[in-house]
């Protein structure tokens, strides 16, 4: 059976939205006959070191991450740079990616998707595709049952990866969801921002993580 190396590149680790999505892809992979994947969290030093070694023996690698300032978390970039010794190797694994963000529009992740496509080519890996999903932050607030359709589609992508070596294009489109807000939707979002209606969630996150009192800190000024 083909082996799958599942890499979670979220700084939130095991409880992250990225891991919620990656776990469903892994379920589909196993349902289609793939071997139980090795799961590593790049936020853990031991896992990060193991991930560099395991890249050389896996049949397929799946690297998932949140979108950070239109790019990737530093720990993911560090991992990618550590793969330099594998560039051009004849038996590199097939590689696929997952990029999720809190933005409602999938288009915010498209520049990173293009980078990852080039990365696969530079490594000399067969490219399986990139799963893009907007509105990922909502997964933290909603019960899993509310995302049942998304989970089913992600499992389907895992199945297509195991059976065909790449993600099903139609399912990729369905998982991406809203590509771009309509003009009306953009106006509503602008109004909500101006009225600070969207601050409630983020203020709650600041308080939850003990950062409320230092929210205006400017350490580099």
51: its two tokens: 């991930």
Indicate where the chain has its CATH 3.40.50.360 domain(s): 4-176
User: Is the model more confident about 187 or about 5?
Assistant: 5
Superfamily of domain 4-176: Flavodoxin domain (3.40.50.360)
Q: What is the pTM of this model?
A: 0.87
Mean pLDDT of the chain: 91
CA distances from 214 to 11, 141, 201 (A): 21, 24, 17
User: What does the block give as tokens for 152?
Assistant: 């089913």
C-alpha to C-alpha distances, 171 to 68, 90, 128, nearest whole angstrom: 24, 30, 13
State how far Cα 172 lies from the chain centre. Answer: 13
In the predicted structure, residue 189 carries a pLDDT above the cut 90: no
Among 3-7, 34-38, 67-71, 129-133, which stretch is predicted with the lowest mean pLDDT? 67-71
b/e 95-122 (16+ beta carbons within 10 angstroms → b): bbbbbbbbbbbbebbbebbeebeebbee
Q: Which residue has the higher pLDDT, 68 or 171?
A: 171
Higher local confidence (pLDDT), 210 or 182: 210
Q: How far apart are CA 132 and CA 141, in angstroms?
A: 20
Q: How confident is the model at residue 155 (pLDDT cuts 50, 70, 90)?
A: very high
Residue 38 has pLDDT above 90, yes or no: yes
Q: pLDDT category, 193, cuts 50, 70, 90?
A: low
Question: pLDDT, tens digit, for every residue of 112-131?
Answer: 999 999 999 999 999 999 99
| pLDDT tens digits for range 60-69 | 999 999 998 7
Does residue 191 register a pLDDT over 70? no
């Amino acid at each position: 059976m083909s082996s799958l190396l599942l890499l979670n590149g979220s700084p939130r680790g095991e409880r992250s939205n990225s891991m919620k999505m990656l776990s469903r892809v892994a379920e589909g992979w196993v349902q289609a006959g793939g071997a139980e994947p090795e799961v590593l969290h790049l936020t853990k030093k031991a896992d990060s070191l193991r991930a560099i070694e395991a890249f050389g023996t896996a049949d397929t690698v799946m690297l998932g991450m949140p979108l950070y300032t239109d790019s990737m978390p530093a720990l993911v970039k560090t991992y990618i740079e550590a793969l330099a010794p594998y560039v051009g190797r004849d038996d590199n694994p097939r590689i696929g990616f997952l990029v999720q963000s809190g933005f409602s529009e999938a288009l915010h992740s498209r520049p990173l998707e293009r980078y990852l496509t080039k990365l696969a080519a530079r490594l000399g890996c067969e490219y399986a595709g990139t799963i893009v999903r907007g509105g990922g932050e909502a997964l933290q607030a909603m019960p899993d049952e509310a995302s049942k359709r998304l989970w089913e589609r992600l499992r389907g992508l895992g199945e297509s990866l195991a059976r065909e070596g790449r993600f099903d294009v139609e399912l990729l489109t369905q998982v991406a969801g809203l590509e771009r807000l309509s003009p009306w939707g953009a106006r509503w979002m602008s109004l909500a921002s101006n009225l600070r209606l969207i601050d409630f969630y983020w203020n709650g996150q600041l308080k939850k993580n003990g950062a409320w009192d230092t929210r205006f800190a400017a350490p580099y000024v």
